[in-house]
């Protein structure tokens, strides 16, 4: 088999352009030529990956099918698709309860080798339940948002988002901006966004935030005070935590209104714990703490519909389009979390 180029991950500061064989496909499998692959915030979770390096990352992918294995009837060469890298069994205890994203099978599935490559092999289980055909008017780079939007949709659904709620989004990176945008689509009455970067606060206002707060790390009490001022004496009904900073988590717990919900969307660094006041949070105030991970098939299909219909306005969130050889630069931009929002890698450049 011929070789292909891949961006091999060794650390956030060491991503190398290397070659490896184009994957062979078997019965039921598909070979996908990657046209666009987004860098996710989880890709730069170095502590989570460093013990498994070297490896090819990238899971927000879209491209064109260039080969199909025996038995594949529903897809053909030339189809434009986005794909899920993790897929569930649809038969276990968790799947039967509607929680496919915590399925044991989902946690062991992926494609080969990863999205920062010229080609990937889609295993038969991914072909069976993780391919989304793209309408002609949806671009490949727009399609890379299907997976992150699906994650956001699931998180907001589990948190019980409703029209008329006061929403606070802590952290205005790409996940925070998608939460802001979709909370607006869902009919939130007041959306407040925080960040420590003025660049990202400006982006938050552009994508739907009614007000922003510069979350100074030296004054964690600043956020709840400002939320009360903006909400005319009330805290927020739904607080969505899109950063793993411990100070942000404390801000979230102090910014949620009675009978409100805190959605923990972003992971923290390894080993982070926080103190909780049982009386203040739960005994009389009926606060709900919710977490979410990934998105299921219906979330991906809803995400595709939002993008296809134009209600999910994602094109403007892309700040950088880089070649495969520039993937290391992309990782550095995401790690610094400064003047960038969404970075797309284009492996065919």
**pLDDT for 277:** 86
Per the domain annotation, does 239 fall within a domain? yes
Share of residues in the chain with pLDDT > 90 (%): 91
- Cβ(80)–Cβ(142) below 8 Å: no
Residues 205-228 have pLDDT tens digits of 999 999 999 987 555 558 999 999
The answer on pLDDT for 276 being more than 90 is: no
118 and 219 in a common domain = no
pLDDT tens-digit series, residues 2-21: 999 999 999 999 999 999 99
Q: In terms of domains, do 31 and 76 share one?
A: yes
Q: Does residue 154 sit within a domain?
A: no
d(CA 94, CA 92): 5
Q: Cβ–Cβ contacts within 10 Å for residue 287, how many?
A: 19
**Mean pLDDT lowest among 40-54, 208-222, 233-247:** 208-222
- Kindly report, residue by residue over 246-263, the tens digit of the pLDDT: 999 999 999 999 999 999
- For residue 293, what pLDDT is reported? 96
**What local confidence, expressed as pLDDT, does residue 76 receive?**
98
| Among the listed residues 223, 213, 152, the one whose alpha carbon sits nearest the alpha carbon of residue 184 | 152
Does residue 284 sit within a domain? Answer: yes
Does one domain contain both 128 and 12? Answer: yes
Q: Same domain, yes or no, for 69 and 103? A: yes
User: Quick one: pLDDT at residue 82?
Assistant: 98
Task: Locate 16 and state its tokens.
Answer: 């190398």
Count of H-run helices and E-run strands, the chain:
12, 15
Residues 252 and 316 in one domain: no
Asked whether residue 131 falls in the same domain as residue 217, the answer is no
The pLDDT, as a whole number, for residue 222 is 85
124-176, pLDDT tens digit by residue? 999 999 999 999 999 999 999 999 999 999 999 999 999 999 999 999 999 99
Q: Please tell me whether residues 164 and 283 are part of one structural domain.
A: yes
Q: Quick check: is 153 in a domain?
A: no
Q: Is 23 helix (H, G, I), strand (E, B) or coil?
A: coil
> Does 308 reside within a domain?
yes
pTM (two decimals): 0.96
Is residue 325 domain-shared with residue 192, that is, in the same domain?
no
Domain that holds residue 52: 3-148+294-346
Read off the pLDDT of residues 54-106 as tens digits, 9 standing for 90 and up. Answer: 999 999 999 999 999 999 999 999 999 999 999 999 999 999 999 999 999 99
* First-to-last C-alpha distance (Å) of the chain: 21
Average pLDDT over residues 13-39: 98
Asked if 257 and 337 sit in the same domain, the reply is no
61 and 170 inside one domain: no
22 part of a folded domain: yes
Is 165 contained in some domain? yes
Any domain includes 338: yes
CATH number for the domain that contains residue 56: 3.90.180.10
Handedness of CA 99, 39, 195, 172 (dihedral sign): negative
- CB–CB of 126/87 below 8 Å? yes
Do 200 and 277 sit in the same domain of this protein? yes
**Tens digits of per-residue pLDDT, 278-313?**
888 888 899 999 999 999 999 999 999 999 999 988
Q: What is the pLDDT of residue 283?
A: 87
What pLDDT is attached to residue 220?
A: 52
* 207 plus 131 within the same structural domain: no
CA 4-6-8 angle, to 5 degrees, is: 145
Q: Note the pLDDT of residue 218.
A: 55
- Measured distance CA(245)–CA(81) in Å, rounded: 35
How many domains is the chain built from?
2
Q: How far apart are CA 17 and CA 8, in angstroms?
A: 6
CATH assignment of the domain containing 285: 3.40.50.720
Predicted local confidence at residue 108, as pLDDT: 96
């Amino acid at each position: 088999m011929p070789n292909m180029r891949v961006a091999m991950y060794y650390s956030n500061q060491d991503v190398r352009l290397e070659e490896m064989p184009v994957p062979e496909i078997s019965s039921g499998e598909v070979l996908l030529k990657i046209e666009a692959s987004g860098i996710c915030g989880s890709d730069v979770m170095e502590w989570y990956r460093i013990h498994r390096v070297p490896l090819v990352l990238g899971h927000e992918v879209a491209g064109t099918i260039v080969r199909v294995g025996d038995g594949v009837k529903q897809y053909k060469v030339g189809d434009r698709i986005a794909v899920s890298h993790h897929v569930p069994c649809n038969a276990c205890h968790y799947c039967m309860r509607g929680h496919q994203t915590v399925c044991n099978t989902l946690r062991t599935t992926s494609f080969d080798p990863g999205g920062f490559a010229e080609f990937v092999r889609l295993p038969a289980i991914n072909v069976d339940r993780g391919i989304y055909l793209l309408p002609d008017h949806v671009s490949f780079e727009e399609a890379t948002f299907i997976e992150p939007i699906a994650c956001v949709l699931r998180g907001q659904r589990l948190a019980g988002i409703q029209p008329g709620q006061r929403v606070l989004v802590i952290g205005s990176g790409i996940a925070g901006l998608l939460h802001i945008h979709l909370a607006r689509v869902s009919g939130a009455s007041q959306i407040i966004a925080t960040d420590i970067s003025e660049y990202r606060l400006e982006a938050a206002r552009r994508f739907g935030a009614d007000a922003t707060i510069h979350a100074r790390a030296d004054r964690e009490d600043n956020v709840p005070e400002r939320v009360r001022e903006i909400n005319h004496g009330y805290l927020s009904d739904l607080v969505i935590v899109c950063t793993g900073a411990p100070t942000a988590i404390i801000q979230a717990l102090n910014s949620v209104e009675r009978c409100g919900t805190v959605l923990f969307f972003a992971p923290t660094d390894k080993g982070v714990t926080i103190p909780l006041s049982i009386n203040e949070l739960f005994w009389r105030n009926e606060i709900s703490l919710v977490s979410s991970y990934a998105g299921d098939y219906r979330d991906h299909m809803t995400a595709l519909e939002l993008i296809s219909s134009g209600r999910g306005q994602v094109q403007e969130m892309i700040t950088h389009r880089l070649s495969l050889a520039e993937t290391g630069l992309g990782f550095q931009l995401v790690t610094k979390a400064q003047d960038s929002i969404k970075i797309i890698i284009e492996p065919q450049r």
